[in-house]
Every structure is written in structure tokens, then in C-alpha cells.
């Protein structure tokens, strides 16, 4: 059964306590905040289904929280409670995107009923949307994210060459998307229903690679106990993608040349010739022409494979694409890890834009995954970046103020609590004593700071929903 998480924002402590109690009794898991700043900190740490806020708070109007709430969570429901209901105010609130409006004193059961009903409706809509987006095509043709001219050109090239059987050579540094492009060519071609077979020539010894590509017959070498089909045969009717072709030995290069020219080969230890209908795509991050000059790559093979050449641009040459790439992969990573959707803080995004990216898009994907796993909140910060990005820059004074005192103080507070818990092997009573606070306060702080291990699993079921 589904649960719902509510953030209740109310500065009148008695009113806050009694409304929180009502919500908890009705089965909603409820966090409370007494000011706009506290509310913002809660929203940065947890994912809520709904916010219920008083209109007049000590540091502003409750409605001011709405843009931040929607920024971290576009689907969040936003309810306003006020003791001073007036029609113009209500209309103003609705126009700003408020979900519903409750006049104080409210009727307890009406509040709960309307809340449950709206949450249930919104969930239904969200499920529909997710299903639709699963069915709708990828927003970026060929799965290649980016709008840089070089990527747009690459997309056009993929489209125009996909259906020919010509050999394609993809050049590019490691992690720039060579495999992605090879797959895209296959997927766009009339061979897409046939196999796509990939092999990394760099990770096998010469003899193993030869047998892997062309197969072998039993007894052809020590350990070859039975006949085995190679990748070329497996790829018949489809596409074979030979990655790191620059590492192939001279003997293998000769054999490859023959397949490319005649589409036929003999398995290792056999004289039987196999004919295949295979489209060959090759990739390398080495300078093959330079290798030809030095005699380490066969000139005849080079000219044979250099029919259609595609270049993958390094990420540092298309930094304006960083935001789209990062958001695309962040969404996927959070889905894969079954985590609430995370967003990038503006400072972190700026750091991503300033970095050189020697490992290209693969490095970006790894950096994001690491940040999602390590971060406690839903906003990824500079401090979630690995050491290569250097020390976290000093946050300018004005930025500190915009983050709010409470949020700025959260990091050292979290560190101290973690240290105390570590010191006492996770025993909360002892950690609280060490910190000079009682156990309940420690528990509340841990909850607010996202330090409870199964924070999201302890909710009471929501009544009347699903
Ligand atoms: N244009 C792009 N849009 C979205 N994701 C991309 C793009 N380019 C690369 N990636 C992602 O970057 C990662 C690395 O891509 P890929 O494996 O295709 O690179 P590669 O050039 O083949 O790397 P290697 O040289 O190590 O084989 C993958 O997760 C891939 O999805
Ligand atoms: Mg690759």
C-alpha cells in the first residue's frame, strides 16, 4: 500500500503540533518546519508528496516556498492554510500554482479527505505520464544527446550512411560515444532486426582474438576441445563492431582485410570457407595513419576501412552540451538506482562546465553516479564531486545568505552527528550523550539531515489511497 509524505509549515507551535498529529493519525508521514528557511532545507533533503503551508511565516509568506518546492520537485502538491481567507488572496494563490486552499479553522475530516483525494489523483496522473513517456520515442534521435554542431552533423551522417553496407571507421577519444554511434548506425539500418555483435580487440591476446572472431575447430590449439563459431558467423545478417582496431596484430589485420574484401574467412585450424553477410564498423582512439607511417598498421587495411569516417567530438569541445547530457544521465541513474530524482545545484553545474573531461562522457556518467550515491539530499552539490575537481570553492557571502543559515549549518551538524555515531558504533543513546542532546532531539536531527538508514521505509500507510 502506498504512503504519502507531507511537509507541514506552520509557525504557531501549538497549531503545528496539533495539525501534524492529525496528519500522522490519518497515516501521513509528516515533517514540520516553522519558517521559509527551515522549509527550504527540508525540501532539499527529502522528497515529499505535498507541502501544506501557513501563509504568514516569520521570514516571509508561505507562498514564497512554492518556486523552490517546484524546482526540486515539479510534481509536488502545494496547499495553503490561512487564518485570514479572502477571495482575492485565494485567487492570487491559485494563479501562482497552488493546488488547494484551506481556510482556518478547518474541518479535520474535510482536510484529510481533500488531501487524500488530491494525492491519489495526482499519483494516477503521474503513473499515466510515466507510462506515456516510456512509450514515447527518445527525445534525442539515435540516443545521442547534445545540440553542438558536431553532434548534429554526426546524427545527420549516421542517418545517411546507416542503410549502406559500407565499412565505417569511428574515430574518437575514449568515452566519447563510439559504441553508442556504432549501435545507432545498426539500429537505423535495415539490418536492425539482425544481430549487433561487439568485440573489443584490445582485451584479448592475438590467438584468442582470432579464434573469437573467426571461430575454431576442435584440436586446432591446446584447450580447443570442440568446434566453436566465431563472432563473424554470429553477426551474419547484422553488424559487427570491432572496437580498438589499432591493437590488432599483423596476422589478424591480414585476415580482416580478406573478410572486408571478400566477406569470407576460414575458422582457425579449418580449411572450410564461410561466407557471411555482415556490415563492419570499426573504432579506434589511435592515429591509424601515423601507425601506417611507422609500419605498425597495414596500409592496405587502412585504406580499406577508411571508407566512411565519423569523428566523435571530445566533450571539452562541446561543453554547452554538458547540462543536457548531465540531466539525461542523472534521470537514468536515479531510475536505475531507484532513488528519488536528483537535481544539480548551479555551482556544481558550473564546475562541470569548467572541467576538462579527459574521460569524456563516460567520466561524466561516472561522476554523476558517484554523486547520486554519496549525496544525502536531492540536490547534488560541489562537495559531491571527486577529488579531481579540486577543493570546493569558497561560497561567496551573498550565496551563503541565499542558502539560509539553517541549510549552511547542516553540513557541520551532519558531520558531528556522524562522528558521534561512528564513535559509539551507531548507538544513538551514547551518541546523543556525547553531543549533549537528548535521544529524541538526535532522532529528529537525524531525520531532518537524512541520516536515518531506512528513512523512506518507515511510513504509515495512507488511508483511502489505491
Ligand atoms: N552523445 C551522447 N549522448 C548520451 N550519452 C552519451 C553520448 N556519448 C556518450 N555517451 C555515454 O557515455 C558513455 C560512454 O560511451 P561509449 O561507450 O559509447 O564511448 P566509447 O567512445 O565507445 O568509449 P571507449 O573508447 O572506452 O570504448 C556511455 O554511458 C554512453 O551512453
Ligand atoms: Mg566503446
Question: Is the CB of residue 362 below 6 angstroms from any atom belonging to ligand 1?
Answer: yes
Contact by Cβ (8 Å): 381, 348: yes
CB 176 less than 6 A from any atom of ligand 1: yes
In the chain, the domains with their CATH numbers are 5-136 (3.40.50.2300), 149-312 (3.40.50.300), 319-393 (1.10.8.60)
**Phi and psi torsions of 359, nearest 5°:** -95, 10
| Whether residue 44 has its Cβ less than 6 Å from ligand 1 | no
How many Å apart are CA 144 and CA 209, to the nearest integer?
30
Cis peptide before 277, with omega less than 30 degrees from 0? no
**Radius of gyration, CA atoms only, the chain:** 30
Measured in Å, residue 170 CA sits from the centre of ligand 2 at: 10
Residues 6 or more apart from 412 whose CB is under 8 A from it?
none
- Pocket of ligand 1, candidates 145, 283, 362: which has the most ligand atoms within 8 Å of its Cβ, to mutate? 362
Q: Which residues pair with 242 in a beta bridge?
A: 199, 282
Which of 175, 284, 324 to mutate to test ligand 1, by most ligand atoms within 8 A of the CB atom? 175
C-alpha cell at 135: 512509450
With contact defined as beta carbons under 8 Å apart, do 250 and 298 qualify? yes
Q: What is the pLDDT along the chain (466 residues), one digit of tens a residue?
A: 457 899 999 999 998 999 999 998 888 889 999 999 999 988 888 888 999 999 889 998 888 899 888 888 888 999 988 776 665 566 566 667 888 888 888 889 989 999 999 988 888 877 766 555 555 445 676 789 999 999 999 999 999 999 999 999 999 999 999 999 999 999 999 999 999 999 998 877 777 888 999 999 888 788 778 888 889 999 999 999 999 999 998 888 999 999 999 999 999 888 899 999 999 999 999 999 999 999 999 999 999 999 999 999 999 999 999 999 999 999 999 888 888 888 898 889 999 999 999 999 999 999 999 999 888 788 898 989 988 887 776 444 444 455 555 555 676 777 788 888 888 877 788 888 888 887 777 887 887 777 765 433 333 333 333 3
Q: How far is the CA of 246 from the centre of ligand 2 (A)?
A: 13
Q: How far is the CA of 284 from the centre of ligand 2 (A)?
A: 9
Q: Is the CB of 168 under 6 A from ligand 1?
A: no
Measured in residues, the chain has a length of 466
Q: Quick check: pTM over 0.85?
A: no
Task: Enter the DSSP assignment of 296.
Answer: S
Adjacent-strand bridge partners of 240: 197, 280
Q: Is the CB of 175 under 6 A from ligand 1?
A: yes
Cα-to-centroid distance, 178 and ligand 2 (Å):
5
pLDDT on residue 93: 64
Q: What is d(CA 67, CA 408) in angstroms, rounded to the nearest whole number?
A: 20
| Residue 177 in contact with ligand 1 by CB distance below 6 A | yes
What whole-number distance in Å separates Cα of residue 385 and Cα of residue 255? 46
**Which ranges constitute the DSSP H helices of 225-336?**
231-234, 250-262, 288-293, 299-305, 322-336
Contact 172 CB / ligand 1 (< 6 Å): yes
Amino acid at each position: 500500500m502506498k504512503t504519502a509524505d507531507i511537509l507541514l509549515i506552520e509557525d504557531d507551535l501549538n497549531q503545528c503540533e496539533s495539525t501534524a498529529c492529525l496528519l500522522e493519525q490519518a497515516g501521513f508521514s509528516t515533517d514540520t518546519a516553522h519558517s521559509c528557511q527551515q522549509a527550504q532545507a527540508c525540501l532539499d533533503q527529502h522528497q515529499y508528496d505535498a507541502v501544506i503551508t501557513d501563509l504568514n511565516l516569520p521570514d516571509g509568506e508561505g507562498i514564497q516556498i512554492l518556486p523552490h518546492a517546484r524546482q526540486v520537485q515539479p510534481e509536488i502538491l502545494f496547499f495553503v492554510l490561512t487564518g485570514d481567507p479572502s477571495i482575492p488572496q485565494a485567487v492570487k494563490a491559485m494563479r501562482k500554482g497552488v493546488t488547494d486552499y484551506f481556510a482556518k479553522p478547518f474541518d479535520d475530516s474535510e482536510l484529510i479527505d481533500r488531501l487524500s483525494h488530491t494525492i491519489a489523483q495526482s499519483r494516477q496522473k503521474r503513473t499515466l505520464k510515466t507510462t506515456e513517456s516510456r512509450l514515447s520515442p527518445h527525445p534525442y534521435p539515435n540516443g545521442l544527446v547534445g545540440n553542438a554542431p558536431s553532434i548534429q552533423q554526426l546524427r545527420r551522417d549516421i542517418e545517411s550512411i546507416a542503410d549502406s553496407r559500407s565499412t565505417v571507421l569511428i574515430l574518437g577519444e575514449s568515452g566519447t560515444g563510439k559504441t553508442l554511434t556504432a549501435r545507432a548506425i545498426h539500429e537505423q539500418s535495415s539490418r536492425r532486426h539482425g544481430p549487433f555483435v561487439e568485440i573489443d580487440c584490445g582485451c584479448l591476446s592475438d590467438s584468442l582474438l582470432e579464434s573469437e572472431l573467426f571461430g575454431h575447430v576442435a584440436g586446432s590449439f591446446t584447450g580447443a576441445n570442440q568446434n566453436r563459431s566465431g563472432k563473424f558467423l554470429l553477426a551474419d545478417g547484422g553488424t559487427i563492431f570491432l572496437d580498438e582496431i589499432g591493437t590488432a596484430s599483423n596476422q589478424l589485420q591480414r585476415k580482416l582485410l580478406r573478410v572486408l574484401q571478400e566477406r569470407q574467412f576460414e575458422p582457425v585450424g579449418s580449411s572450410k570457407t564461410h561466407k557471411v553477410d555482415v556490415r563492419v564498423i570499426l573504432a579506434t582512439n589511435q592515429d591509424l595513419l601515423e601507425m601506417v607511417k611507422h609500419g605498425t598498421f597495414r596500409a592496405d587495411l587502412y585504406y580499406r576501412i577508411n571508407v566512411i569516417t565519423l569523428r566523435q567530438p571530445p566533450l571539452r569541445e562541446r561543453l554547452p552540451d554538458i547540462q543536457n547530457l548531465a540531466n539525461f544521465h542523472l534521470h537514468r541513474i536515479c531510475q536505475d538506482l531507484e532513488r528519488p530524482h536528483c537535481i544539480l545545484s548551479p555551482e556544481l553545474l558550473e564546475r562541470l562546465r569548467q572541467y576538462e573531461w579527459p574521460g569524456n562522457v563516460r567520466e561524466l556518467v561516472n561522476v554523476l553516479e558517484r554523486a547520486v550515491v554519496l549525496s544525502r539530499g536531492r540536490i547534488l552539490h560541489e562537495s559531491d564531486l571527486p577529488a579531481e575537481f579540486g577543493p570546493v570553492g569558497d561560497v561567496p557571502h551573498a550565496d551563503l545568505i541565499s542558502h539560509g543559515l539553517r541549510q549552511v549549518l547542516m553540513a557541520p551538524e551532519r558531520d558531528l552527528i556522524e562522528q558521534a555515531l561512528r564513535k559509539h558504533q551507531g548507538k544513538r543513546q551514547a551518541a546523543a550523550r556525547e553531543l549533549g542532546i537528548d535521544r529524541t532531539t538526535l532522532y529528529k536531527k537525524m531525520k531532518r539531515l537524512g541520516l536515518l538508514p531506512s528513512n523512506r521505509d518507515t511510513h504509515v500507510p495512507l488511508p483511502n489511497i489505491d
